[in-house]
Amino acid sequence: MENVNLKINGLNVTAPAGSTILEAAQAAGIRIPTLCYLKEINEIGACRMCVVEVKGARNLVAACVYPVSEGMEVQTNTKKLLDARRRTLQLLLSNHDKKCLSCVRSGQCELQELCQELGVDDEHYFDGESTQYEPDDSAIHMIRDNNKCILCRRCSAVCEKVQAVGVIGPNNRGFATFIGSAFEMGLGDTSCVGCGQCISACPTGALYEKDNTDEVLAAIADGTKHVVVQPAPSVRAALGEEFGYPMGTDVEGKMAAALRRIGFDRVFDTNFSADLTIMEEANEFIDRVQNKGVLPMLTSCSPGWIKYCEHYYPDQLEHLSSCKSPQQMFGAITKTYYAEKMGIAPEDIVCVSVMPCTAKKFEIQRDDQYAAGVPDVDISITTRELARLIRKVGINFRSLPDEGFDDPLGESTGAGVIFGATGGVMEAALRTAVEKLTGTELEKVDFMEVRGTKGIKEATYNVAGMDVKVAVASGLSNAKIIMDKVRAGEADYHFIEIMCCPGGCVNGGGQPQVHADVRNFEDVKTIRAKALYDNDAAKTFRKSHDNPSIKKVYDEYLGHPGSEKAHHILHTTYVKRTIN
């Protein structure tokens, strides 16, 4: 690629042709502040925080969209620029609800950080007109508070471009502009899929998940309840970021220790039910292949994807696997098998999940998720909520010893842990399905073709003399590409994995917030996913059907994968929904 030479703050810099000033400066170790910019998602130069001086240009230019050129001379930190950025922040604060002490993003707010860096307070323009909005709490999973919105449009960009949903965007014009839904509908009345990617994109506290941590503490304090907890695979790959660990640090042991000290009666692991999901899903796939069932079969682990399919592809629901997600399978087996073994009434068990996903809050309230006549899962909290809960009860996370999970629902394989990365469900299913179809043990269990964070991946494997074609998609804009092919009858795949969030659950809408300075220049998805693959590689058992506890559940209770009892407890149905 051709390079160009320029100067930034008097420093000689070489950058690829087509780069922006922002990218060239970052590569040279020079930070230019941004607010609206998200690489390849929201590149509109609207917030004016990244303005710089370019020699010969009549006006200040937005570094996030202005391309470099040969011989260009750029200044990024002159008094003129600092004054311009301060005025921008002062104007933003003039119409901003500045209740920082009670804001969920305090200490992790990009607006707050820039105000602190540039010495900006709220004493300017305080007597002008301001807008007031009622927070929208109509959605099950989140709240939108436009009183804290800075109109950066990151949320609407990710909703439209990345997730192909587009249920939010700017309404009205000028000073009356606000982010909302069509016809000012509440978010809960739209075909929002609950993915939470808008929350992850928001630089302030305008968007945040509904907090259920007080419900968790109330359940633990209730002496009549037996409270169990199940953290998802990808939580252990991201929770450490909340406590100062480098991104991608696996904190599984400290997480288990923290959950035990919060007061849960049993600390189990969703990885166990990920293995259980594979047993049922692989069996279902083999049955469809051998008995001319509906193909391609689509995975059903991601609730945001499921709701998207119900809204936008209701005519294709027969392709979905009937398996419940690992979260729901865990709750179902806890309130049936575990309840029976322990002699506890299902209604006296409170099952709490810790998920990287805000859509899980919707999933626990779905119909046909009541294996024991009560909800499979009672409360679902995000990784962020768990971090807040750990702080709330006074646990020093970094000083904790590494501890393991409780038996029997805490034992898992490497196949279960990689569920958190895009391609992980497919790889885990292949490890089991291939062995079941061929009747021989795999010499190599790593299916590298379906790994990586590329939006769409395809592979073909010859299994027992049959070419099995698979596809993996993450991010709903990529799911749309795949599903349009399925709907048109042009998809010759046998098995398709779809994850709602780009990169899979490691990049879920409930994971720790990542500053734009990081997500614009670091591959967050890959860094977090590596922790899961390293965890998998270190496991004694790496195939779901080798899990001794899974074998025991089938021997003692379920019979065999796909049995009538297993189908009643571990499978579900779907609903055709409209688009709003």
Q: In this structure, what is the dihedral angle of CA atoms 504, 506, 507, 511, given to the nearest 10 degrees?
A: 140
Residue 260's Cβ-side half-sphere holds a number of Cα atoms within 13 Å equal to 16
Size of the chain in residues? 580
Residue predicted with more confidence, 128 or 340: 340
Neighbours of 46 (CB within 10 A): 16
Residue 72 located in a structural domain = yes
Return the HEC string of 129-184. CCCCCCCECCCCCEEECHHHCCCCCHHHHHHHHHCCCCCCEEECCHHHCEEECHHH
Cβ–Cβ under 8 Å, residues 513 and 108: yes
3-state secondary structure of 449: helix
pLDDT in tens, 272-288: 999 999 999 999 999 99
Same domain flag for 341 and 389: yes
Distance, CA of 184 to CA of 12 (rounded, Å): 51
Which range marks the domain in which residue 131 is found?
93-209
Tell me the pLDDT tens digit for each residue of 105-120.
Answer: 999 999 999 999 999 9
| Residue 86 within any structural domain of the chain | no
Specify whether 186 is located in the same domain as 109.
Answer: yes
Whether residues 238 and 344 fall in one domain: yes
As a whole number of angstroms, the distance between CA 31 and CA 509 comes to: 26
H helices of 291-382, in order, are: 303-312, 326-333, 339-342, 360-363
Please indicate, yes or no, if residue 579 is contained in any of the structural domains: no
Q: Following DSSP, what letter does each residue of 392-425 receive, concatenated?
A: HTT--GGGPPP--PPSSTT---HHHHGGGSTTHH
Identify the CA nearest to 144 among candidates 134, 136, 154. Answer: 136
Query: Around 379, how many Cα atoms within 13 Å sit in the side-chain half-sphere?
Result: 21
Q: Are residues 202 and 232 in the same domain?
A: no
Alpha helices in 268-423 (DSSP H): 270-290, 303-312, 326-333, 339-342, 360-363, 383-392, 414-417
Contacts of 183 (CB under 8 A, 6+ apart): none
38 and 163 in a common domain = no
Q: Of 209, 232, 262, which residue is a domain's last?
A: 209
Digit-coded pLDDT (tens) for 35-69: 999 999 999 999 999 999 999 999 999 999 999 99
pLDDT at 121 > cutoff 90: no
Q: Are 51 and 60 within 8 A, CB to CB?
A: yes
Where residue 112 sits, what CATH number does that domain have?
A: 3.30.70.20
Give mean pLDDT, residues 529-557: 97
CA distance 158 to 163: 6
Query: Would 176 be classed as within a structural domain?
Result: yes
**Both 204 and 285 in a single domain?**
no
pLDDT at position 367 is 95
Domain presence at residue 415: yes
Q: Both 232 and 306 in a single domain?
A: yes
CATH of the domain at 66: 3.10.20.740
Residues 62 and 124 in one domain: no
8 A C-beta contact, residue 136 and residue 192: no
Residues 345-369: what's their mean pLDDT? 98
Q: Which of 189, 209, 229 is the last residue of a domain?
A: 209
Banded pLDDT at 128 (limits 50, 70, 90): confident
Note the pLDDT of residue 126.
Answer: 66
Quote the pTM value.
0.96
Residue 542 sits in a domain whose CATH number is 3.40.50.1780
Which whole number is the average pLDDT over 534-542? Answer: 96
Q: What does the mean pLDDT of the chain come to?
A: 97
| Residue located via tokens 């079941």 | 436
Closest CA relative to residue 497, chosen from 323, 378, 363: 323
Distance CA 134, CA 130 (A): 14
Q: Could you say which of 51, 77, 103 is where a domain stops?
A: 77
Give the model's pLDDT for residue 325: 98
- Kind plus residue range of the DSSP H or E element containing 528: helix 524-537
pLDDT in tens, 367-381: 999 999 999 999 999
Same domain, 329 and 265: yes
Q: Nearest to residue 417, comparing CAs of 532, 329, 529?
A: 532
Q: Which of 67, 65, 44 is nearest to 152 (CA)?
A: 44
Q: Are residues 200 and 218 in the same domain?
A: no
Give the mean model confidence (pLDDT) for residues 451-472. 95
| Domain contains 362 | yes
Gap between the Cα atoms of 521 and 30, Å rounded? 13
Structural domain contains residue 85? no
Residues 345 and 385 in one domain: yes
H/E element, 12? strand 11-16
Q: Count structural domains, the chain.
A: 3
Is 370 part of any domain?
A: yes
Q: Based on the domain organization, do 143 and 227 belong to the same domain?
A: no
What is the token pair recorded at 297? 């079969």
CB 345, CB 316: distance < 8 Å:
no
